[in-house]
Amino acid sequence: MADTVEKKKNVVSFLMQNNMLVTSDLLGKMDDPQFLDRLYDMSTNRDAGELRRVLNPSHEIQEAPPVIIARDYDGTVKKATLDSFVAYFKIRYKILSKMLSERQELSNAQSINRILGKEGRERTAIIGFVFDKQDTKNGNLMVTIEDSTGQIKVIFSKSKEQIFKRAKDLMFDEVVGIIGQASDNVMFGADIIIPDIPITHELKKSPVEEYAVVLSDIHVGSNNFLADEFNKCIRWLRGETGTEKQRAIAQKVRYVFIVGDMVDGVGIYPSQEKELTLPDINAQYNEFTRHIKDIPKNIRIIICPGNHDAVRMAEPQPKIPKDYLGDVYDMPNVTMISNPSSVIIGRTSTFPGFEVLMYHGYSYDYYGDRVESIRESGDASQRIGFVMRYLLQRRHLAPSYDSTQFIVDSEKDALVIDSVPDFFFSGHIHKSSWLNYRGVTLISGSCFQARTKFQEKVGHNPDPCRVPVVNLQTRDITVLNFSKVEAQ
């Protein structure tokens, strides 16, 4: 039978493994043989949840892990002018063309004005914006590419099936490289180069077993808000519900990402007031605050807004104002950021951490409907993973001018993905999805809102209450269905 010293060592080791603080006060209480035996039995049975309930809350780790904000937009909105539009697109071109020019295939790319008028089908390469795209009479595709020096039409032959399909997926205003033969003010396209993620990008893994949870589109205030299921999710985070395996995961959750649409909002669409249980925006945020205050304080909560939140529709959206979420701002374990934004989590003296890109996803409907290869892949609500990958490859969250409302900033394009993330978290489509691409894990949260009349009208089939949970040590993803998880 274990002696007192051995029991104390076992209990302390188990507490530390489960992120519970061992204080001098707690060590003093362990001098009580009955109290020590109770803790020892629970640690031997690996029952961290019960230990948390037995111990005074002051013995648990109160500090959430730190987070570094790598990119957050706080620019002021200025009146858009012709000059600011030109400056905005020049900035985008400068960043993306630099990425492309670093590719070996485009190292000798020329400006368009230098190849106009050349004869003899000379092989060449250019970098520019997609200005126009149209089918020719004989079924080929003609794409107009533009740079600061001029425009040129590029013909993609239907007889070259692979490159023809890729050309079909080109969207207006994206920046690409074209390789082909130039003759008489026309190019015949042989290859398309996009900025993309380098194939050398490392798939990083945490040295410790920790988990991140991706939530989005909670829609508090809607008469379709699934309050019971959302409460069940929070109770799981507290270790109070779920299977033994699910509760074991909950004990090691260190991050909760909430990627937009915390509330349903007011005046977002016509006659919305008929579908609200809370018609006041402040009441909606107060109710949201009440829910997330129950998340354990040792979990870092990172929040960005979405199109239903109380910020401007135009992207980038600033963080939600303190006027609506003052109590949340006062929570030491909450980090408020803009949409989009990037944060670094898990950094230590020996591990560089993970860069997480967060974007709610307002532009996704546009690309799901218009990119031919994505449109043919299934219904709208099943395309989100492919859309996320498509935009990641383009290194821009909304390359086409009319795919989202955006702020014309003459100093930066905040929708450019200038740094390669390790994780890309989104929402908006109300359906969970995930995939891995070149060392980047793409995850979309689902929602906690039942299917709305609008979604029925447009054919969206949400998949509510599915919560993706990623193991930062293995990069494996588990999806918990809180419409089915039962309290233990």
Return averaged pLDDT per consecutive 10 residues of the chain, 488 residues in all. 81 76 75 81 72 57 84 81 90 96 93 84 92 96 96 96 96 97 92 96 94 97 96 94 92 96 92 91 96 94 97 95 94 96 94 97 94 82 87 98 91 94 96 94 96 76 93 96 65
Kindly report whether the peptide bond that precedes residue 340 is cis, defined as omega within 30 degrees of 0: yes
Task: Output the domain CATH number for residue 167.
Answer: 2.40.50.140
On whether both 387 and 423 belong to a single domain, the answer is yes
Q: Which uninterrupted H or E stretch holds 470?
A: strand 466-471
On whether both 312 and 458 belong to a single domain, the answer is yes
On whether both 322 and 352 belong to a single domain, the answer is yes
- Give, in order, the Cα–Cα distances in Å from 318 to each of 34, 35, 63, 71, 331: 54, 50, 26, 12, 19
Task: Output the domain CATH number for residue 215.
Answer: 3.60.21.50
Q: What is the DSSP string of 379-409?
A: -GGG-HHHHHHHHHHHTBS--STTSS-B---
* Residue 99 in domain: no
Q: Which two tokens stand for residue 402?
A: 């009319």
Kindly report whether the peptide bond that precedes residue 316 is cis, defined as omega within 30 degrees of 0: yes
On whether both 254 and 171 belong to a single domain, the answer is no
- Give, in order, the Cα–Cα distances in Å from 332 to each of 45, 62, 63, 239, 293: 32, 9, 8, 21, 11
* Residue 39 in domain: yes
On whether both 147 and 170 belong to a single domain, the answer is yes
Instruction: State how far the Cα of 57 lies from the Cα of 298, in Å rounded to an integer.
Output: 11
Nearest alpha carbon to residue 451 among 472, 468, 465: 465
* Residue 370 in domain: yes
Q: What pLDDT shows up at residue 370?
A: 94
Instruction: State how far the Cα of 360 lies from the Cα of 307, in Å rounded to an integer.
Output: 8
Q: Which residue shows structure tokens 């991140």? A: 212
Nearest alpha carbon to residue 224 among 379, 407, 450, 488: 450
On whether both 412 and 327 belong to a single domain, the answer is yes
C-beta of residue 182 within 8 angstroms of C-beta of residue 190: no
Q: What pLDDT shows up at residue 273?
A: 87
* Residue 283 in domain: yes
Q: Which residue among 170, 193, 216 closes a domain?
A: 193
Q: Which residue shows structure tokens 């003759």? A: 183
Instruction: State how far the Cα of 107 lies from the Cα of 209, in Å rounded to an integer.
Output: 42
CB-count burial class (<10 Å; 0-12, 13-18, 19+) for 273: exposed
CB-count burial class (<10 Å; 0-12, 13-18, 19+) for 32: exposed
* Residue 486 in domain: no
On whether both 259 and 383 belong to a single domain, the answer is yes
C-beta of residue 52 within 8 angstroms of C-beta of residue 20: yes
Q: Which residue among 146, 163, 193 closes a domain?
A: 193
* Residue 349 in domain: yes
Q: Which residue shows structure tokens 């929040």? A: 303
* Residue 85 in domain: no
* Residue 30 in domain: yes
Helices and strands counted in the chain (H then E)? 15, 17
On whether both 365 and 433 belong to a single domain, the answer is yes
Helices assigned H by DSSP within 82-145:
82-101, 112-115
Number of compact structural domains in the chain? 3
Q: What is the DSSP string of 171-190?
A: -TT-EEEEEEEEETTEEEEE
On whether both 253 and 396 belong to a single domain, the answer is yes
Rounded to a whole number of angstroms, the distance between the first and last alpha carbons of the chain is 31
Strands 122-135, 175-183: pairing kind? antiparallel
On whether both 414 and 468 belong to a single domain, the answer is yes
C-beta of residue 188 within 8 angstroms of C-beta of residue 230: no
On whether both 209 and 226 belong to a single domain, the answer is yes
On whether both 284 and 417 belong to a single domain, the answer is yes
Instruction: State how far the Cα of 432 lies from the Cα of 467, in Å rounded to an integer.
Output: 7
* Sign, CA torsion 91/94/97/98: negative
> Any bridge partners for residue 188, and if so which?
155, 181
C-beta of residue 302 within 8 angstroms of C-beta of residue 258: yes
pLDDT tens, residue by residue, 241-257: 999 999 999 999 999 99
Domain containing 54 equals 4-59
Q: Which residue among 193, 216, 249 closes a domain?
A: 193
Q: What pLDDT shows up at residue 461?
A: 81
pLDDT tens, residue by residue, 112-146: 999 987 777 788 999 999 999 999 999 999 999 99
